[in-house]
Amino acid sequence: MSERILLSPPHMSGNERKYIDYAFDSNWVAPLGPNVDSFEKEMADYIGVSDATAVSSGTAGIHLALELLEVKKDDLVFCSSLTFIASANPILYLKAQPVFIDSEPETWNMSPTALRKALEDAEKNNKLPKAIIVVNLYGQSADMNEILTICEQYNVPIIEDAAESLGAEYYGKKSGSFGTIGIFSFNGNKIITTSGGGMMVSNDSYYMEKAKFLATQARDKAIHYQHSHVGYNYRLSNILAGVGRAQLEVLDSRIERRREIFNKYKGELTQINGIKFMPEPKDYYSTRWLTTLTLNPQLVRKNYMELIDLLNKENVEARPIWKPLHEQPLFKDNLYYPHSTDSFSNKVFDTGICLPSGSSLTNEQQDKVIDIIKTALT
């Protein structure tokens, strides 16, 4: 059998060993160290914010961000529904209540229309959310200008979950720089990786200093081990930060390659009636972390699950779009606000597919994927 074509595998630059060796040679192999300090500064400079805090995962970053915004038991936290569960699980860590917001067709990200309706209802009930987690899906920013305007009207802070959108831009500004706190992930499938890890970014130095404090077991300033607050073991290893530094050096080329892959898919497959790709509005710049499309079941010969199964039989990894969180059994009793009378998130989940999109994907591998899809659908 031919080698499996993966959805989004890690892609090493070759320069990672330099930073890893530096960690070993200096004996900074424990959490924290010079690579962590440099990685934080380099990330902050790249995103265009004043400060950053390296953490063990994007999920840990969201958890800390909710702590920083003083989310407590029974508080409301609004969250995008069309996303991976890691966006919302930290809400449950704090025993708060998630309320899910639909996506819009223009960006596939949080619908300003649904968000406004949810905030209007929350104000009538005299219980506004303590925070809103806006997810930037599949490498593309949400409509942050509109969302910021709405949130400022109600004085609710934004946690920008940019785990999937490192390097994306919205009207010339980097994804992750719009919220009170931005969160990135360096999981193995992301556009750059540290194997596992994440980064919090902000222009608020108080939040970043407190995040560092909470992420290192909340140790008070004393020669002995003294603790006045609950803390967490959430800081990033100095070795893994070295991997991240080398990966960050090639981020822009990785984005360029993923956009090339998307453009080839689009150029080859849009001729098939019934296929639509995730849109990229004017003044947006998507990394195309994953190439995603929908299949109109009335116009194509196979539905999305049949196509995924067929690709898998040919040793090609493909996945459905994220199952909306409001449809997950864990959140069956939580409120959900659709974009219109029909839920856009449900529609995308019922028709959507993610194609192999890694920056190491060869032209021959992509040609194979395209040929399978053309044969199946035409």
Say if CB 208 and CB 41 are below 8 A apart. Answer: no
Secondary structure of residue 235 in the 3-state scheme? strand
Measured between alpha carbons, how far is 83 from 76 in angstroms, rounded to an integer? 18
Say if CB 320 and CB 83 are below 8 A apart. Answer: no
∠ CA 166-169-174, nearest 5°, is 65
Q: How many residues does the chain have?
A: 378
Structure tokens at 203: 């222009």
- Quick one: DSSP state of residue 216? B
Say if CB 219 and CB 197 are below 8 A apart. Answer: no
Let me know if 190 is a catalytic residue. Answer: yes
CB atoms within 10 A of CB 343: 22
Using alpha carbons, select from 171, 138, 142, 173 the residue that is nearest to residue 158: 142
Contacts of 170 (CB under 8 A, 6+ apart): 141, 142, 144, 145, 178, 283, 284, 285
DSSP for 232-279, please give it: -B-BPBHHHHHHHHHHHHTHHHHHHHHHHHHHHHHHHHTTSTTEEEPP
Structure tokens at 157: 């802070």
CB atoms within 10 A of CB 56: 20
Q: Which residues pair with 254 in a beta bridge?
A: none
Measured between alpha carbons, how far is 65 from 137 in angstroms, rounded to an integer? 19
- Quick one: DSSP state of residue 324? P
**Options 130, 190, 212, 368, the catalytic residue:** 190
Using alpha carbons, select from 115, 147, 77, 76 the residue that is nearest to residue 338: 115
**Mind telling me the catalytic residues?**
190
